[in-house]
Amino acid sequence: MSSNLCEKCKFLHFTAESLSPYGFTEKRADNDELHLQFPAGQQSVTVPYGCRDDLPDLPRLRESAEGETGCGFCALLRDSLLRGIADEGVHRWALKRNAGKRLTVKVAKMSIMAAYRPSDDDRSTFAAVCVEWDVLEPGRDRSVNDFTGPDGRVYFKLCAHSDDPLARYLGIAYPHPEQHILSAANAKVVRDQLLDCDKEHIHVSSPVRPGESESDRLPSRLIEITQNQDGRKLRLVETKDLGDPGNAYGSNCREGTGSIKYVALSYRWGYEDFLTTTPSNLKEHFHNIPLSPSSPDDTTPALPQGFKDVVDICCELGIFHLWIDSLCIIQKETKTVDKTLLKIQQEESRRDWATESAKMHSIYMSSYLTIFLVTTDTPLQGVLERPAPSPDSIVAISYSVEHHPDIRGSFFIQPLSYTGELDHLVWHPFLAAEDALDSSLWNTRGWTLQERLLSPRKLYIGVTDMLGLGLFSCPQRSEYGRDIEDIKRPRRHKSLDNLAVGSAVAGTDVSGQEYSNENLYQAWYRIVEDYTCRDLTVSTDKLPALSGIARTQALALNDQYVVGLWARDLAMGLLWAPRYAMNPGSDRYFGQRERKPLVRPDKYRAPSWSWCAHDGQIEFVGNYLHRPRSEIEVLGHELIPEYDDNPYGQLAVDQGAGGYVKLRAKVIVALLEARHEPRPDTRFQRLPEKLQPQPQETGFQLRRVQVAKATGEAQSATIFLDHSGSYPDAEEVYLMIVSRGDQPVYSTPGQYESGVRSAGLVLRKCPGQTRLQFERIGIYSHFWDAGITSLFNDCEPQAVYLV
């Protein structure tokens, strides 16, 4: 689009002369290169911009864009304002209230934004222009005492070619869309970060189990990348055949260590088929993994584009071994016609999966670098190409700097689709990257949680253009300077990278920082709460996809893992509930993820008392108690794993007489009242069916139970059933106290009961058993209503089996 500007838009000709009234200065860098510096202590500078135009067409901006001047920025501004006004927002009430009346749009504020810099001494860069606007009646302005505005915002990012003289003078934060993501400059930034990390930090994982060798920790196979005059070649290699890594340097080994240097990959599989290693092509892949079809008529599957891009990244970083699960683990064969051979091949892939999945934790912990493809849904999509902008969506701003005729060139201004108030997404590359990472579809996948937490060094590709190739992070804590205001921070699962995840050294996390067992238990519960919000394509992966973190925590805690919980902290672990049960309705605010009710899978996966037995979001509610203490004693447990040498993975479907935890606990009988069917709300019956409000799916069910006191009277209490719609009729259930606190319970205004708060399980007796055996159906929480804790005081503990 034309780079012509009208008079009011010429503020975009950034020079020291035009911006000196706002504190901008010229400085020379160490290389004697002149640059324009933002005023110290300011990240955003407001410049005057008089613009007020009539709705609905904004004719003045259109005239400026189409007139003799042909102002390119007026055209972009008009399109962005019309788009912002069409969106739902706080301004909609003004449009509806004044329907049919004349209204105007006023640019209330025009700001130039600098990208984040650690200190005022660092060189500044121009990141964006922010326009705040209001919808107003003609001749009226927003009151100075009205703090509800503005009605909306639009943003324009500033981008440029890195070799442009004007761009170097200004410092432009965003690269031009035509600049390749894997440019030499971007690759050098990551290489330098890795070299600095090698010098300053030690991230080589120690053995996770006593006596574990290098071969026990490494994947059985890696992809070897070779380059010569004939081109690039990929093939599978056995890690045991790579020779003594202590004698290898450069591409094979981290210098000064005996660890093989390889990149691990994290990505979303998606639902479309792509090239994988199976028993039928395993031998061929040891010879060659096809990068592309050999001819237009060749129908042999080749490496998907996303994997090709990762190979290019590895070569630019000088790392020539790569681990991709779909190619390095033998996948299930499905295309063999011979049924006998197919059965043999599927057993081969099953055994290989069992071996490799058991050391998935060490595969990521031992990687030199893990690359994360955050922005793609399948490896069939590439990660190194930016979408080309349409010609009318980007404007070149071309000029020469006054008094410096050699500084002449162009930068470009392009509207952003984002129109919210979280301006840090525009100017702060690290916070923008973390937000993009946390809100990505990749971050909703179950397997990616442990891949993210266990990898010592990470490169997230494509999270923000401001960071070039991507966001690099390592366990060494990073400080990004001024944080955003709490009121602007999205209230969802934020970055988990700094959680305490146990390593081989008990009481430390992967960065070597010391933590107590209490910290590690609490970190585990946070991890599980996040994990249950995620999706798994294969239901039986529920335990395997978290087994890597479980192994590392087990060694750090010196505790026994019991189907997603811990033996020595079982009183806290058993107290899980459907998410938001303690705070109903809170998921409708603060951008929380949509509630997913608990659902039992079709096949047995775990005993009823473990959260692993359910799909859906849970939370641990033991922290609601004040200084809780356990009311149960763990006497033992018997759980049969699917694979004998992996107690952290999938359980066998047939548990026989096992699948239980044995406790000494206090149990009392109660009568579950029949479910009350509420009267239909007649207020909306006359509305069309599509306009009638839908009943809210809570994901749990509040019910009442009656418990007999020693006096013969009945005590009423509220319980939570795990599944809505279950057990509609009155029946006998059991309450088991698990933990109690030491804080009196609020009863009636101004009064407190003499009892204390407690929480426990709601159980159903298993029929036909000679032992006292129960299954979990819910939870009770004596937090705020008339409690039943005192009823357990005279109850004798007994041995119970939970299945």
Q: Are 291 and 322 in contact (CB under 8 A)?
A: no
Angle between helix axes 59-66 and 72-86 (nearest 10 degrees) is: 150
In a shared domain, residues 409 and 300? no
Q: How far apart are CA 735 and CA 742, in angstroms?
A: 20
In a shared domain, residues 711 and 695? yes
Q: Are 789 and 668 in contact (CB under 8 A)?
A: no
| Domain C-terminal end among 446, 467, 498 | 498
In a shared domain, residues 597 and 680? yes
How many Cβ atoms are within 10 Å of 251's Cβ, its own excluded? 16
In a shared domain, residues 305 and 367? yes
In a shared domain, residues 354 and 466? yes
Q: How far apart are CA 493 and CA 590, in angstroms?
A: 11
- Torsion angles phi and psi, residue 602, rounded to 5: -65, -35
Question: Which residue stretches of 98-183 are H helix?
Answer: 165-170
- Torsion angles phi and psi, residue 372, rounded to 5: -115, 125
Q: Are 158 and 138 in contact (CB under 8 A)?
A: no
Q: Which of 675, 519, 492 is nearest to 593 (CA)?
A: 492
Q: Are 472 and 369 in contact (CB under 8 A)?
A: no
In a shared domain, residues 208 and 109? no
Q: How far apart are CA 732 and CA 713, in angstroms?
A: 17
Establish if 525 belongs to a structural domain: no
Q: How far apart are CA 306 and CA 462, in angstroms?
A: 12
In a shared domain, residues 257 and 300? yes
In a shared domain, residues 162 and 227? no
Q: Which of 214, 504, 221, 225 is nearest to 353 (CA)?
A: 221
Establish if 521 belongs to a structural domain: no
Q: Are 127 and 115 in contact (CB under 8 A)?
A: yes
Question: Which residue stretches of 547-586 are H helix?
Answer: 547-557, 570-573
How many Cβ atoms are within 10 Å of 514's Cβ, its own excluded? 11
Q: How many domains does the chain have?
A: 3
| Domain C-terminal end among 498, 531, 546 | 498
133 Cβ contact list (under 8 Å, min separation 6): 81, 84, 105, 106, 107, 108, 150, 151, 152, 153, 154
pTM of the model: 0.86
| Domain C-terminal end among 478, 498, 518 | 498
737, two tokens: 């106290």
In a shared domain, residues 199 and 115? no
343, two tokens: 């059965």
- Residues of the chain under the 50 pLDDT cut: 1-2, 245-252, 254-256, 480-494, 503-512, 585-592, 696-699, 785
Q: What is the pLDDT at residue 382? A: 93
DSSP string, 683-704: GGTTS-GGGSPPPP--SSEEEE
Kindly list the distances between the CA atom of residue 727 and the CA atoms of 481, 613, 756, 757, in Å, as whole numbers in the listed order. Answer: 54, 18, 29, 27
How many Cβ atoms are within 10 Å of 493's Cβ, its own excluded? 17
Establish if 509 belongs to a structural domain: no
With the C-alpha atoms ordered 658, 664, 665, 669, is the resulting torsion angle positive or negative?
A: positive
Q: How far apart are CA 428 and CA 480, in angstroms?
A: 9
H/E run at residue 719: strand 714-721
Tell me the three state secondary structure of residue 183.
coil
Establish if 279 belongs to a structural domain: yes
Enclosing domain of residue 336: 182-384+428-498
**CB environment 419-434: b (16+ within 10 A), e (fewer):** eeebbbbbbbbbbbbb
Establish if 558 belongs to a structural domain: no
Q: Are 278 and 332 in contact (CB under 8 A)?
A: yes
In a shared domain, residues 77 and 140? yes
Establish if 206 belongs to a structural domain: yes
DSSP string, 68-117: SS--HHHHHHHHHHHHHHHS-STTHHHHHHTTTS--EEEEEEEEEEEPP-
- CA angle (447 as vertex; 441, 453 as ends), nearest 5: 95
Question: Which residue stretches of 184-281 are H helix?
Answer: 184-200, 214-217
In a shared domain, residues 616 and 476? no
Q: How far apart are CA 367 and CA 321, in angstroms?
A: 10
Using DSSP bridges, classify how beta strands 395-401 and 404-415 pair: parallel, antiparallel or unpaired.
Answer: antiparallel
In a shared domain, residues 405 and 460? no
Establish if 214 belongs to a structural domain: yes
Establish if 2 belongs to a structural domain: no
Q: Are 732 and 674 in contact (CB under 8 A)?
A: no
